[in-house]
Amino acid sequence: MAELTRRGLLAAGALSLLAGCGKDEPRQQVAYGKPQGEVNVWLHGSQETGEQFQALVHDYIAEYRVDVRLLYLPVGQLDAKLLTAFTGGTPPDVFKIGHWSFPAHARKNRLAPVDTKALTLQNYEPGTTTPLTYDGVPYGVPIDFNPCMLYYRKDRFEQAGLDPDKPPATWEEIAAASTKLTSADRRQVGLQWLYGDPQWALMMITALTKGGTSLADALTYMSKLGNPKLSNPLGALGLFYSGEAAMVISGAFLGPALEKLGKKSTPYGVAPMPAWQGRTSVVPAYTWGWGVAKDSPNQYTAWHLVNYLQGARSVTTNLDNGIIIPTKGWRQAGPRGESEIMKIVADSLPHVDFGPIVPGTLELAKAASSAVDSVAHGKATPAEAAAAYDAATRQIQ
């Protein structure tokens, strides 16, 4: 994810701490059923949760006498480095990657199925482990679960004569509001899309088409809103913060992120994901997930560590930063669980859609982004872009 997703924020503040990866040291084969030995963990990190995470790991080491070695990587490098490690036969035991990366690794037989003796999948909200499952086999558990919702600036709504306490509920209402919120020079817009972001483009196409329209009509709709020429160092998030964009679609993490930017001085509202008039909302979502390498000599301990990292203490700490570990009862883990944002997340669970869960998800996302951007920049008609996307889809799948 980029710009308005946490990927964009992490890219600027990712940790580069190396606590030791042990790649040149042979890892001892350990017995099953008891946490012991050594576990290497690769992940991206953030300044908001890095210290708490490391404290949790240190407590695990002290309690179970397991040698846990952490390697923090910039979020933009993690997938490539992990692929290199798999190819070279030296993957870490545990890693945190996006759900879109799981199917390709599972197809290549690189992942260890979840060890249900070390970790109970029934502890998770229904459907939240779906994108980490391939061919019916669960290969991961979710952390940083993010269903999308609408964020809107109440001040911009008031300036345009719109009711700041009545946000748009349908895509048709979004379009009507955007017309009133867009200036003649288009330096200010209503809903701003996240141009150039493959995962986000695939999520929006999923929401619009599964919600009840054709791909060509979805691309036509998207081309009439927003402005691809607007720019900001923080992407669409920055445009929303500055007031140039009156509406954006993003995940639960955005509320706390705006607070850290001083957003309390500019009131914003949140609302559930829009639906086409008379249809049920389709809520696009993404999640990061913990996985374990099939070649790990210490799989039980790896999953035991993951289970520990997903415990009540971690759920509470992460929730305060807008990061959802969707174990049952997550909303009761801290005061933020009662916020309007988290209520929307909980209500959206039955309607969440993670999009295609196939080995070619990354390629599909690139094709989706190409379709959205080519129409937005006038390089293709919606019909041409839809045909190109359909052709790419047939090749990939």
* Full set of structural domains in the chain with CATH: 6-145+285-353 (3.40.190.10), 149-192+227-272 (3.40.190.10)
Looking at the DSSP bridge assignments, the partners of residue 288 are 98, 143
Edge-to-edge strand ranges of the sheet holding 245-250? 189-191, 245-250, 149-153, 268-271
Task: Report the distance separating Cα 77 and Cα 373, nearest Å.
Answer: 24
Average pLDDT over residues 298-317: 96
pLDDT of residue 19: 39
pLDDT of residue 87: 95
Which two tokens mark 260?
């850290």
Average pLDDT over residues 143-150: 95
Looking at the predicted structure, is the pLDDT value of residue 318 above 70?
Answer: yes
Task: Report the distance separating Cα 265 and Cα 336, nearest Å.
Answer: 19
C-alpha distances in Å from residue 304, one per residue of 44, 115, 220, 250? 20, 9, 49, 32
Contact 95, 69 (CB under 8 A): no
Banded model confidence at residue 258, pLDDT cuts 50, 70, 90: confident
pLDDT of residue 195: 93
- Percentage above 70 pLDDT, the chain: 89
pLDDT of residue 49: 62
24 vs 90, higher pLDDT: 90
Give the model confidence (pLDDT) of 6-17 as tens digits: 344 333 333 333
Average pLDDT over residues 288-304: 97
Q: What is the mean pLDDT of the chain?
A: 89
Looking at the predicted structure, is the pLDDT value of residue 372 above 80?
Answer: yes
Contact 281, 296 (CB under 8 A): no
Give how far the C-alpha of residue 79 lies from the chain's centroid of Cα atoms, to the nearest Å.
15
Amino acid type, 359: P
The torsion angles phi and psi of 233, rounded to 5 degrees, stand at -55, -30
pLDDT of residue 383: 98
**Of how many residues is the chain composed?**
397
Give how far the C-alpha of residue 314 lies from the chain's centroid of Cα atoms, to the nearest Å.
18
